[in-house]
């Protein structure tokens, strides 16, 4: 998309692309336009060899307060079932092949919580609130909330959140395994960028296969997943970066990875 309005895209550090959700007046509610712009930005970042890691963030008040309730107010069953474009956008988020880190402050509700869960690592500012409040609207989560949340935090906490619509704070989210770290609110993005920089300096193919292997833990039976991991591990022995990484260790110097 040529002139995105609902997202802002920056390159704050080498190898790191920052995408900010940018509908502050609507708490970054995920209207169709925003979803499309984000999908386009991720597709572009996925294809750009210079981008190693994406950091996704909102603003101080909200990461995203969910699907745009006003936009979906008059939608019929047939329209929702036929919304292939929206489904394609969500597919682009969850199939994004490079590491994605979400820096969350404020509300991450409904589709906002589901979007954060598409990231591989979530860093939350103290005061962040996560929830799946769709039940308050006579709905259920529609972009992975019943599945991804359950896999992340387990049945007990997922049931409580999905059935009551109650939100949890950053500490509870950390204890439940939904997020990786808590930071002071004003430092959550800095910390996410710091993690992104660390990852961006690693061997890109190894990073990509590591992400794939970890995601398989939630998708495949254990024996098949272990077998898959072993094959990805073996595959990396064919890369220049593996030779460089091992040589650099032996020669006591920093490795210089090229992505081959």
Residues near ligand CAA (CB under 6 A) are: 26-27, 29, 65-70, 107, 109-111, 114, 133-134, 136-137, 141-143, 145
Closer of 80 and 224 to ligand CAA (Cβ): 80
Of 29, 134, 145, 183, the active-site residue reads 134
Distance in Å, CB of 20 to ligand CAA, minimum: 17
**SS3 of 136-192:** HHCCCCCCCHHHHHHHHHCHHHHHHHHHHCCCEEHHHHHHHCCCCEEECHHHHHHHH
Max Cα separation, the chain? 65
Whether 10 is catalytic: no
Whether 26 is catalytic: no
Whether 114 is catalytic: yes
Closer of 162 and 210 to ligand CAA (Cβ): 162
Closer of 28 and 239 to ligand CAA (Cβ): 28
Question: What is the four-CA torsion angle of 185, 32, 39, 112, rounded to 10 degrees?
Answer: 30
Whether 67 is catalytic: yes
Helices (H) and strands (E) in the chain, counts: 11, 10
Of 58, 66, 111, 144, the active-site residue reads 111
Q: Which residues pair with 64 in a beta bridge?
A: 108
Distance in Å, CB of 23 to ligand CAA, minimum: 9
Phi/psi of residue 56, nearest 5 degrees:
-115, 130
Closer of 136 and 164 to ligand CAA (Cβ): 136
Instruction: Report, as residue numbers or ranges, the catalytic residues.
Output: 67, 111, 114, 134
């Amino acid at each position: 998309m040529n002139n995105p309005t609902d997202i802002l895209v920056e390159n704050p550090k080498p190898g790191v692309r920052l995408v900010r959700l940018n509908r502050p007046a609507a708490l970054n509610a995920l209207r169709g336009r925003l979803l499309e712009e984000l999908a386009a930005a991720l597709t572009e970042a996925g294809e750009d060899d210079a981008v190693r890691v994406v950091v996704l963030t909102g603003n101080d008040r909200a990461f995203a307060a969910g699907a745009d309730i006003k936009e979906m107010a008059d939608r019929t069953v047939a329209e929702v079932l036929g919304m292939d474009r929206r489904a394609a956008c969500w597919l682009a988020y969850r199939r994004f092949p490079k590491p994605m880190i979400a820096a969350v402050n404020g509300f991450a509700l409904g589709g906002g919580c589901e979007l954060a869960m598409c990231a591989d690592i979530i860093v939350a500012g103290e005061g962040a609130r996560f929830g799946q409040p769709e039940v308050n609207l006579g709905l259920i989560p529609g972009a992975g909330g019943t599945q991804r949340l359950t896999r992340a935090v387990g049945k007990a906490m997922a049931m409580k959140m999905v059935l009551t619509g109650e939100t949890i704070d950053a500490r509870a989210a950390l204890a439940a395994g939904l997020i990786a770290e808590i930071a002071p609110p004003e430092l959550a993005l800095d910390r996410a960028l710091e993690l992104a920089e660390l990852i961006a300096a690693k061997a890109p193919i190894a990073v990509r296969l590591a992400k794939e292997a970890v995601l398989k833990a939630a998708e495949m039976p254990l024996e098949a997943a272990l077998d898959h991991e072993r094959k990805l591990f073996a595959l990396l022995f064919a890369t220049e970066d593996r030779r460089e990484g091992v040589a650099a260790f032996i020669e006591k110097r920093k490795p210089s990875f090229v992505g081959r």
